[in-house]
Amino acid sequence: MDSRWHEAKRVLLVRLDNLGDVLLCTPAFHAVRQTLPHAELVLLASSVGAQAAELNPDLSGVIVYAAPWMDVWQTAAQDSAREQDLIRHLRASRFDAAIIFTSFRQSSLPAAYLCYLADIHLRLGASIDGSGSLLTTRHRHPDRMMHEVERALNLVGAEGFATDDTRLVLSVGAAMRRRISQILHQSGIDPSRRLVIVHPGCSMPARTYPWESYAEVVEMLVRQLDCQVALTGVANEEELCRRIEDRVTVPLHSFVGLLSFREFVALIAEGDLVITNNTGPAHVSAAVQTPVVDLFALTNPPEQWGPWQVPCRVLNHPVSCGLCYSRICPRDHACLQGVAPTEVVAAASGLLSVSMGQKFVEVSRDQATAGGPIDAF
């Protein structure tokens, strides 16, 4: 263990992929915060992942950065001025240390090189590649299946950062909960009846349960379980959600494209259950302790990416092509197509019977206020 880590005053936490990935790192962020209570912790994240920083009291600020090595859709401009600007900003910010969080299929070395060029002298990351001096602490995870939360905690543990509180960190706040209660009231939702949030979208097509099946699930939730259903999605999922709205014949409350991220989190917290794919909202549900039915495509292992420390049912259909890590299914989506809507509703019924009367209660933390300054690159 390098004693200089425990003298750091400004620490850069790097996680450059999606919202759920950042959320799964928040217990590790909390471990750093508990060990360095007076340090400033700043998150370097994608625009999507950075949303988690808005509601994280362990963080002092966030820097938004579109890393070209994470741009699987190749939509970012091919312009190195972005990286040069970021390096100048990081150097001017005088970070003492950087912790680079990656999944096991990602390399920490591109981000480590950025931090090296920005004169951040301590750089911790996991790598099995020859990293030279790009990482001052080169960590190797144990050779066994680990949940992403455990991997992140294992990484920071290499330099002595630890915590007994391994919950995901996402703080809604009383004012936002009151606001979402008003929104639900105005939408005609009865607080005395069970509310199920259905989020059918996902940025990865291979992980998306068929919209026709979602429509059947909605019908049965209302008709068989007497639930109210709130349909959610971001703006680019409006067409998908409209298909479901057009198909169902039961009352459905749509919030698609209408909520800010804070409002969306508060809605999840107010709900009795969430039904979604292996995507960010499943981890939002875990963070606010709302039970979740996770329609988990076998593109990657549920043991590594499933909902963390929350009542849940993870559903899929066994297939020979599992663990393909594909973003677009090259075959027939059998791992999700094989899950019948009746199975989803049965799982929902079981979780609703467990969660009756257990509404979300936010646990306070004594760290700095969330929603620090945001810089974008």
Q: What is the pLDDT of residue 323?
A: 86
d(CA 361, CA 265): 13
Query: Which CATH number characterizes residue 347's domain?
Result: 3.40.50.2000
Residue 33: which domain range? 6-170
d(CA 70, CA 52): 18
Q: What is the pLDDT of residue 366?
A: 43
Q: What is the pLDDT of residue 192?
A: 94
Q: How confident is the model at residue 164 (pLDDT cuts 50, 70, 90)?
A: very high
CA angle 323, 153, 61 (to 5 degrees): 105
Whether the predicted pLDDT of 356 surpasses 70: no
**327 or 289: whose pLDDT is higher?**
289
What is the per-residue pLDDT across 198-228, written as a single tens digit (0 to 9) for each?
999 998 888 999 999 999 999 999 999 999 9
Looking at the fold, whether 289 and 271 belong to one and the same domain comes out as: yes
Q: Is residue 217 part of a domain?
A: yes
For the chain, the domain total comes to 2
d(CA 314, CA 311): 10
Looking at the fold, whether 116 and 211 belong to one and the same domain comes out as: no
Which structure tokens are listed for 156?
A: 């920071």
What are the φ/ψ torsions at residue 68 (nearest 5 degrees)? Answer: -65, -25
Looking at the fold, whether 213 and 158 belong to one and the same domain comes out as: no
DSSP letter assigned to residue 377: -
Mean pLDDT of 185-194: 96
Whether the predicted pLDDT of 316 surpasses 70: yes
Looking at the fold, whether 164 and 293 belong to one and the same domain comes out as: no
Looking at the fold, whether 192 and 148 belong to one and the same domain comes out as: no
d(CA 8, CA 55): 24
What are the φ/ψ torsions at residue 375 (nearest 5 degrees)? Answer: -120, 145
What is the separation of C-alpha 303 from the centre of its chain, rounded to a whole number of angstroms?
A: 16
d(CA 32, CA 157): 9
Give the global pTM. 0.92
What are the φ/ψ torsions at residue 22 (nearest 5 degrees)? Answer: -65, -45
Looking at the fold, whether 133 and 237 belong to one and the same domain comes out as: no
Strand 97-100 relative to strand 228-231, pairing: unpaired
User: Cβ neighbours of residue 122 under 8 Å, at least 6 residues apart?
Assistant: 2, 4, 5, 8, 96, 97, 98, 136, 137
d(CA 42, CA 93): 10
DSSP letter assigned to residue 235: G
Whether the predicted pLDDT of 302 surpasses 90: yes
Q: Is residue 82 part of a domain?
A: yes
What is the per-residue pLDDT across 63-110, written as a single tens digit (0 to 9) for each?
999 999 998 666 777 889 999 999 999 999 999 999 999 998 899 999
User: Cβ neighbours of residue 252 under 8 Å, at least 6 residues apart?
Assistant: 218, 222, 229, 231, 244, 245
Q: How confident is the model at residue 364 (pLDDT cuts 50, 70, 90)?
A: very low
Which structure tokens are listed for 193?
A: 């009846």
DSSP letter assigned to residue 68: G
Strand 228-231 relative to strand 195-199, pairing: parallel
